Structure 1
C-alpha cells in the first residue's frame, strides 16, 4: 500500500451539488471520535478474511450511493411498507456486503455514540477495500450526514454497463465529474465479478450484422460464450472483471486496450480520443492510474457535499 502525495488531497472539501452542504474535512473526527477510522478498517479486514468479494462490493456500493443524491448513505436504507428503497432497484439487487457496514457502525457506535455518519463509514470502507487489496490509500474527507430519502426508482439515474460513451459522459458531467474521472473510476472494475446478464448482449445477437460485438477480441468473446451460452439459465454464471479480480492494479486497462473489456461501457472508453488516451496511459503506468484514481475518488465521494440531515444510529433505518 502507498500514500498518495498530499498535494492531491484537500484538507477541506466542499463539492455541493444540492442545496444542502456541509464542509468535509480529513480531520473531522480527530477530537470527536479519533479511533473511528481504525474501527472501520478492522471491520473491513475481518470481512475480507472470509470473503474476497467484499472489496469489490464495498467499492461498488459507495459508487452507487454517491451517484444518487450524493454520498448520503441512502443506498443502505431498507425498504418500508410504503417505500421501495434503492436496495431493491434493478441495478442494486446484486449489491452485497451490507453487513460489513453494519458491523463497522456497531463498532464505531460503541466508541462514540451518535457521532459518525453511515455515509462517512461507507466512504472509509470503500477506501479500505481498495488499500487492503493492494491499491493506494488516501485521507478521506469526512463530515457527511445521512439522508432520509431512498427510492428504488432513482436507481435509473445510475450509469449502466450498456451505456455508450456519450451516455457515460453525460452521466458523469452532470455530476461535475470529468472524462478523467470517468476513466479513472472505471478502473474500479479491476476488482470483482460480473454476471452474464451484464454483458451477454455483446456476445449473442449483438446487432443485425454481427452476432458478437466486433470490438471484442475473438478469443475473449469465444470464452465468454462458453461461460454464458444462449438462453443461459444459471443465475450465478459470469466471469471476473479482469485477470486479477482480487488485486487492485491496472490490469483492467491493459485488457481494455486489447479488446478484452467486459462491459459495453468499458469498450466505450476506447471510442473517444481523450478517454482512449487515458486508458492507454493508465495501462502503461500503474502509478499514474493510482494517482488519478485517488483524485477522482475524493471528488466523487464529495458529491452532494455531505448534504444529508442526520447521523443514523442504525444504517438501515432513518432516525
Structure 2
C-alpha cells in the first residue's frame, strides 16, 4: 500500500496532467467572444460591414478576396494579422509567398476600415479582428450565411514567409497533402470540404490550373476527371502558353453568388482547381461533397461552424502582440 506522502504526490501529479490539455486549449484558442468590443468600440462591426458592402458593390470579386485574406492569415502563425505586415527592418512580408504573390488582394480595403475605426476607437480594435469581421460580411453580402464573430485577437509583431510558403495548400496538390495541411492546423476533413466551399465565389489565374488542361500527369493529356466540354471552354481562356494571369471564375454558373453550386460543379466534374475536384474523386470526402451539393443549408451550417473554428486558431490575446495603429507595420 502507498503511504500518505506518496499518495499526495501521486494526486498532485495527476492534477498537473489534467491541467496540461487545458493549457494547450487556452494557448490554441484563446479567450475570444462576440461582445469583446461592446463597451470599448460598439460601432466597429457596423463600420466594417458598411465599408465591405460599399466596396463589393463596386467590385464583387472583392468578397472572395477579403474572405481569402482571413484564411491566408489564420493558416500562418494563427489569426494574428501577420499577413498584413509589409517588409520592413527584420520583417519579411508574407505577401511575397508562393500563395500570395500577385494573388492576395484587398489590403487597401482593410487599410480603409482600419483608418475609420482608429478615428473613433484609437488603439482598441486589432487588424486580426477586422479581417475576421470582413470575412463574415463578405460571405453574407453575396447571399451566404452570417454568424457571430468571436473577437479579442491581437496583432502579431512578426511575419513568417516560410510559414506562408509551407502551410498554404497548393491548388495543384493532392487531396492527402491538402488534408495534412488542414490537420496540422487542428482542422479536420469536414472543415476542409466545408471551407473549400468558399470557392463558390472568386476567380483563379490560369497558372493555377493549366496542367489540368494540357498535361495533368506529364503525359501531354488533360485531366481525365475534368469534364471535356468544360475543359474545352477553359482552353479558350487559358492557352497552352501565355496568359498566366488570365482570370477564370471558380464557379462558372453563379460566380458572384455564395451558394452550393461549387459542390454541384464538382459532382459534374467541373471543379476548376485540382485541389477542388479531388474532393469528389477521393473516397474519403466524396459523400460530403454530394451532401452539400444537394442541400445548401447543410453546407451553410457547416461552413459557419468551420469558419468559427478556423477563426480561433492560435490567436494572440491578453498582453501578447499588440493592437497595431497601421495594419501594415508594427507600432515600434
Normalised by the length of structure 2, the TM-score is: 0.88
Alignment of 1:71-110 (within 5 A): 71-93=79-101, 94-110=103-119
Secondary structure at the counterpart of residue 315 of structure 2: helix
Equivalent residue number for residue 38 of structure 2: 30
Asked whether the 8 Å contact 1:24–1:306 carries over to 2, the reply is: no
Asked whether the 8 Å contact 2:91–2:158 carries over to 1, the reply is: no
Secondary structure at the counterpart of residue 194 of structure 2: helix
Whole-Å separation in 1 of the counterparts to 2:328 and 2:23: 25
1:274 aligns with 2:284: yes
How far did 1:178 drift?
1.1
Whole-Å separation in 1 of the counterparts to 2:306 and 2:28: 22
1:161 aligns with 2:171: yes
Q: CA separation of 1:158/1:16 partners in 2, compared to 1, >3 Å: closer, same or farther?
A: farther
Equivalent residue number for residue 43 of structure 1: 51
Whole-Å separation in 2 of the counterparts to 1:37 and 1:15: 30
Equivalent residue number for residue 322 of structure 2: 310
Equivalent residue number for residue 9 of structure 1: none
Alignment length (residue pairs): 305
1:289 aligns with 2:285: no
Asked whether the 8 Å contact 2:77–2:163 carries over to 1, the reply is: no
How far did 1:208 drift?
4.3
Whole-Å separation in 2 of the counterparts to 1:121 and 1:207: 42
How far did 1:83 drift?
3.6
Equivalent residue number for residue 258 of structure 1: 268
How far did 1:64 drift?
0.3
Q: CA separation of 1:231/1:15 partners in 2, compared to 1, >3 Å: closer, same or farther?
A: farther
Secondary structure at the counterpart of residue 287 of structure 1: helix
Q: Hey, which of these two has a bigger chunk of helix by percent?
A: 2
Per-residue displacement from partner, 1:104-150 (whole Å, max 9, x unpaired)? 11111112110100000000000000011111100000000100111
Asked whether the 8 Å contact 2:28–2:313 carries over to 1, the reply is: no
Asked whether the 8 Å contact 2:64–2:201 carries over to 1, the reply is: yes
Whole-Å separation in 1 of the counterparts to 2:54 and 2:301: 27
Unaligned stretches of 5+ in structure 2? Answer: 1-21
Secondary structure at the counterpart of residue 274 of structure 1: coil
Equivalent residue number for residue 135 of structure 2: 126
Q: CA separation of 1:82/1:309 partners in 2, compared to 1, >3 Å: closer, same or farther?
A: closer
Q: CA separation of 1:213/1:235 partners in 2, compared to 1, >3 Å: closer, same or farther?
A: closer
Equivalent residue number for residue 117 of structure 1: 126
Whole-Å separation in 1 of the counterparts to 2:290 and 2:171: 21
Asked whether the 8 Å contact 2:80–2:315 carries over to 1, the reply is: no
Whole-Å separation in 2 of the counterparts to 1:293 and 1:167: 21
Pairing partner for 2:73 from 57, 65, 84: 65
The structure number with the bigger radius of gyration is 2
Whole-Å separation in 2 of the counterparts to 1:119 and 1:103: 14
Secondary structure at the counterpart of residue 265 of structure 1: helix
Q: CA separation of 1:206/1:20 partners in 2, compared to 1, >3 Å: closer, same or farther?
A: closer
Normalised by the length of structure 1, the TM-score is: 0.91
Whole-Å separation in 2 of the counterparts to 1:40 and 1:280: 35
Query: Looking at both structures, which has the greater relative contact order when contacts are Cα pairs under 8 Å and sequence separation is at least 6?
Result: 1
Per-residue displacement from partner, 1:13-49 (whole Å, max 9, x unpaired)? x996795763000111111111110011111112112
